[in-house]
Amino acid sequence: MPDIIQLLPDNIANQIAAGEVIQRPASAVKELLENAVDAGADEIKLIINDAGKALVQVTDNGKGMSETDARMAFERHATSKIRNIEDLFRIKTMGFRGEALASIAAVAQVELKSKRADDVAGVYIEIENSQVKLQEPFAMQTGTSIAMKNLFFNVPARRNFLKSNPSELRHIVEEFIRVAMSFPEIFFSFTSGGQQVFHLEKGSLKQRIVQILGNNYNSKLVSVQEHTDYLDIIGFVGKPETAKKTRGDQYFFVNNRFIKSAYLNHAVMKAFSDMIPKDSYPMYALFINLDPAQLDINVHPTKQEIKFEDERIVYAFVESAVKHALAQFSITPTLDFDLDASIQNLDAVSKPFTDEQRSSTSASSLFNTFTKKNQAHFIESKSELKHWRDFYEKPASTLISGTDLSLAIRPLHEQGLTRDFIPDRLIQIHQAYIVVETDRGYLLINQQNAHERVLYERFNYAVSGRPIATQRSLFPVSIDLAAQDAVLLSELMPDLLQLGFLLEPFGNNSFVVQGTPADVSQGNERNAIEKMIEQYKHFSTDLKFSKREKLFRSLAIQQCIRSGTSLSQKEMNSLLTDLFACEIPNSTPNGKPTYMSFKKDEMDKMFGR
């Protein structure tokens, strides 16, 4: 039998490797920007067309490459930064594995121009499908320009998996921000389709953060500065009032490299505990600098996940540094700790909640008592009061079944208000609940949850051929957004139009609100749209939701009647009529109940009658 194992051709091997490094245009943007930083540039320009599918070009004024180096740069694992195994543990550059350019050349058409300061002429190279098609001298300024064209032209199946242009553009903006924020001493510009998205002049870290995230942070940043023998932590956190419903404005950098770390994020959240709502997230941009030997950055192809030699120490320092900063600026009460470099030597430095502790706690009866879904209290089955649990655990689906209610047996828009539904007998309590008497008991309706369900179904109907009417603004309002939010809003504009929002781009990340739905009060347009964007980003990590579904849920949550709002009899009647006309009146889109059913015979039993 002949031998059947053989080496893959280089171009196919490169395409396989590219699958881990270059997943979308944003991946190439990250790698090319980082190479420009490593080249010592202080001016870096990013140009993209067609959301990076047609063109991603990065130009820098760095040290450039020789003719030989320019060609070698596209070979797999060709690098100027690693000479021996020990170098892997002393890495201070952004790129180092020699995979980026080889991966890009395997799945795109690449043009490279580069020149060193002492060379008379530069070099021009064209590469396609990992093969050099052209190499010749080229007249240019010192530096390098790399253009990646027609991404995945030779792998059409992967190109088909790319998202819409606005979606891909948002990913590119995210990668650009992560690199640009790391190096405020470098000028960065970003142009998309001929329109400038960012123009970031050299400056301080605070200036760079404000340039990127918006002027609203200018007077609301708290400086974090802690220097120890083990590590340094510098950066800024937002004051508590800047906390949002989304994690969007949160950045961790280790040795100037952006990382993702739920563990360190927990440390910051713990430092902010009791200062912000439980469902809110503070803004932060924190830079941790420590000996490269204390961490491993080569654990993931994107290098965004790293391992610390002792992450418990880093956790403790991050929490302490943020607390210290907030205390110094009189944002928190005095604290009962001092930050000391010797903390690393203390046995008390430990993870906030170990796996063993979590397992032990979750097995306890006390934990179960307070974590049973949809229950305020858990009552053991042996209890003589078991019928109380049965009363509160009635499945939501039974609340609208045949004999439970004289109300809501059918949608009210089909049957009208039944004789048992007496408008004058509607009662609002605590400006949050509506009590509705029925012939067999009563309903307790949560007005906020009920209105959320009504709005959600109204939005669904709107995009099914019944658009919501737009109320034209007498005085159109302009909105200035951060670049990433402007890209997001542009993506949502077609659906927003069907929901009654008439928006027009106004250039440079600005929009003009020409009209809104009738229930958005005049003067509140800007606030409504900004909150909708924040809520939308809150859903952005949930892959099970479509773009449209996220939008509906976001608007429903943001526009619904809040607890604490006083309602007239007419408003309560209208809300109930709309609620029971819904297809699913008994819960919000997120599964929270809109009402509870209380039966008279069950109440009689409670009181021994």
Distance CA 163, CA 145 (A): 27
Residue 146 placed within a domain: yes
Could you tell me if 469 and 590 lie in one domain?
yes
Residue 84, domain CATH:
3.30.565.10
Residue pointed to by tokens 């418990």:
312
Same domain for 499 and 445 = yes
Which residues in 221-347 belong to E strands, given as ranges?
Answer: 221-227, 231-238, 250-254, 257-259, 284-290, 295-296, 307-308
Q: Is residue 216 part of a domain?
A: yes
The CATH code of the domain that includes 443 is 3.30.1370.100
Per-residue pLDDT tens for 526-565? Answer: 888 888 888 887 776 555 677 788 888 888 888 889 889 9
Question: What are the C-alpha distances in Å from 210 to residues 192, 201, 249, 415, 531?
Answer: 21, 12, 11, 57, 20
- Give the residue among 279, 362, 286, 367 at the shortest CA–CA distance from 324: 286
- Asked if residues 448 and 579 have their Cβ atoms less than 8 Å apart, the reply is no
4 within some domain: no
Give the position of tokens 């395997």: 106
316 and 357 belong to one structural domain: no
Percentage of the chain beyond pLDDT 90 is 34
pLDDT for residue 410 is more than 50:
no
Q: Give the count of beta carbons closer than 10 Å to the beta carbon of residue 309.
A: 12
Within this chain, do residues 408 and 365 fall inside the same structural domain, yes or no? no
DSSP-assigned beta bridge partners for residue 505:
511
Task: Determine the distance from the C-alpha atom of residue 166 to the mean position of all C-alpha atoms in its chain, rounded to a whole number.
Answer: 15
pLDDT digits (tens, 9 = 90+) for 433-480: 999 888 788 889 999 999 999 999 999 888 877 788 888 888 888 888
- What the block records as the tokens of 195 is 């329109």
* Domain contains 5: no
Amino acid at 143: G
Q: What is the CA radius of gyration of the chain?
A: 30
Distances (CA, A) of 556 to 316, 344, 495, 586, 590: 40, 48, 14, 16, 11
Within a domain: residue 193?
Answer: yes
Burial of residue 413 (number of CB atoms within 10 Å: 0-12, 13-18, 19+): exposed
CA nearest neighbour of 75 among 160, 10, 120, 15: 10
Tokens found for residue 433: 């609940």
Q: CATH number of the domain at 229, please.
A: 3.30.230.10
Mean pLDDT of 167-172: 90
* Overall number of domains in the chain: 4
Half-sphere exposure of 325 (CA within 13 A, CB side): 26
Q: At what angle do helices 25-38 and 100-107 cross, to 10 degrees?
A: 140
Taking only the tens place, the pLDDT of each residue in 82-131 is 455 455 555 556 654 457 788 888 889 999 999 999 999 999 999 998 88
Q: Could you tell me if residue 133 is left (phi over 0), alpha (psi between -120 and 50 degrees) or otherwise beta?
A: alpha
Let me know if residue 2 belongs to a domain.
Answer: no
**pLDDT above 60: residue 399:** no
And the tokens for 20? 């881990």
Of 389, 417, 435, the domain-final residue: 389
> Could you list the residue range(s) of the whole structural domain that residue 494 is in?
394-609
Whether pLDDT at 308 is above 80: no
Burial class (CB in 10 A: 0-12, 13-18, 19+), 371: exposed
- Indicate the pLDDT class of residue 62, thresholds 50, 70 and 90: very high
Query: Pairing relation of β-strands 295-296 and 284-290?
Result: unpaired
State the residue for tokens 């110094």. 328
69 and 192 assigned to the same domain: yes
Q: Considering only 39-53, 185-199, 223-237, 378-392, which range has the smallest mean pLDDT?
A: 378-392
- pLDDT band with cut points at 50, 70 and 90 for residue 238: very high
| Same domain membership, residue 428 and residue 327 | no
Question: With b meaning 16 or more CB within 10 Å and e meaning fewer, what string describes 181-202?
Answer: bbbbebbbbbbbeeeebbebee
165 and 179 fall within a common domain: yes
Copy the structure tokens of residue 173.
């903006």
Mean pLDDT of the chain: 79
Partners of 135 in the beta sheet? 125
Q: What is the mean pLDDT of residues 575-589?
A: 90
d(CA 124, CA 135): 6
Asked which of 165, 200, 235 is the last residue of a domain, the reply is 200
Residues in the chain: 609
pLDDT of residue 503: 92
One domain, residues 341 and 427: no
Q: Is residue 271 located within the same domain as residue 365?
A: no
Could you tell me if 315 and 381 lie in one domain?
Answer: no
Mark whether 373 and 471 lie in a shared domain.
Answer: no
Predicted local confidence at residue 430, as pLDDT:
93
| Residue 537, domain member (yes or no) | yes
Out of 185, 200, 215, a domain closes at 200
Asked if 195 and 217 sit in the same domain, the reply is no
CA 13 to CA 22: how far, in whole Å? 14
